[in-house]
Amino acid sequence: MRFRLTPRDTSFFDLFTDSAQHLVTGAKLLGELLGADRPGRKALAKQLNEAEHLADEATHAIMRRVNQTFVTPFDRDDIYELASSLDDCMDYMEEASDLIVLYKIDELPPRVAEQVAILQRCAELTAEAMPHLRSMGDLSEYWVEINRLENQADKLHRKLLAQLFDEVTDPIHLMKVKEVVEVLEQAADAFEKVANTVETIALKES
């Protein structure tokens, strides 16, 4: 295996930007899926599944590059961490869409759309932040805002759980909706993990 000997392999930034772009696509599809009818949902879930495959390939491209590169722009472990936490965001969004179709859930509480709106905002901010890794400039606003959004998502999630247990009387329907709501909350946590990793990288470099 040949090693690249240029002091800093800048293409990592492009790879991370690429990876985060898939999250914007995924979050958009997830929002559309909520508003669609059953056949529409099936088609959109398939599109989200394909987006997840592309994101997977983007993650593997980063992993391969780390292993082939002699000098990385920041810590190898932080690159792994960032790549795999970006990947987790997509996995959870895809899982949520898949469960909605698989469980044939026709109606979801309106607050689920609010959860997804937060994920869309997180995805956009994350995609905007990635190119700034190169200069390490202007990143603190990004991670502060993601942490604020994750707090908001967490409060919403707990309200949703209380509402579900107050209002839903069919235990099997409750189990289905609860699982979707939990997976969306895990997606929000994964975006926070990405932001925390970016913060760690930026602080090390400062």
Question: Which residues of this chain interact with a second copy, rule CB under 8 A?
Answer: 1, 63-64, 67, 77, 98, 102-104, 158, 161-162, 165, 169, 171-172, 174-176, 178, 200, 203-204, 206
134 φ/ψ angles, rounded to the nearest 5 degrees: -60, -45
Q: Kindly state the smallest distance separating residue 110's Cβ from a second copy, in Å.
A: 19
Q: Kindly state the smallest distance separating residue 122's Cβ from a second copy, in Å.
A: 20
Q: Kindly state the smallest distance separating residue 113's Cβ from a second copy, in Å.
A: 21
**Residue with smaller CB distance to a second copy, 75 or 128:** 75
Q: Contacts for 27-30 with beta carbons within 8 Å, 24 or more apart?
A: 27/93, 27/116, 27/119, 27/120, 27/122, 27/123, 27/124, 28/120, 29/97, 30/93, 30/96, 30/97, 30/116, 30/119, 30/120
CA–CA dist 88, 145 (Å, integer): 20
For 115-150, letters b (16+ CB in 10 Å) and e give bbbbbbbbbebbbebbebbeebeebeebbeebeebb
**Residue with smaller CB distance to a second copy, 106 or 165:** 165
Token pair, residue 170, equals 């069919």
Q: Kindly state the smallest distance separating residue 168's Cβ from a second copy, in Å.
A: 8
**Residue with smaller CB distance to a second copy, 64 or 148:** 64
**Residue with smaller CB distance to a second copy, 5 or 172:** 172
Token pair, residue 26, equals 């995924």
**Residue with smaller CB distance to a second copy, 113 or 203:** 203
Q: Kindly state the smallest distance separating residue 8's Cβ from a second copy, in Å.
A: 20
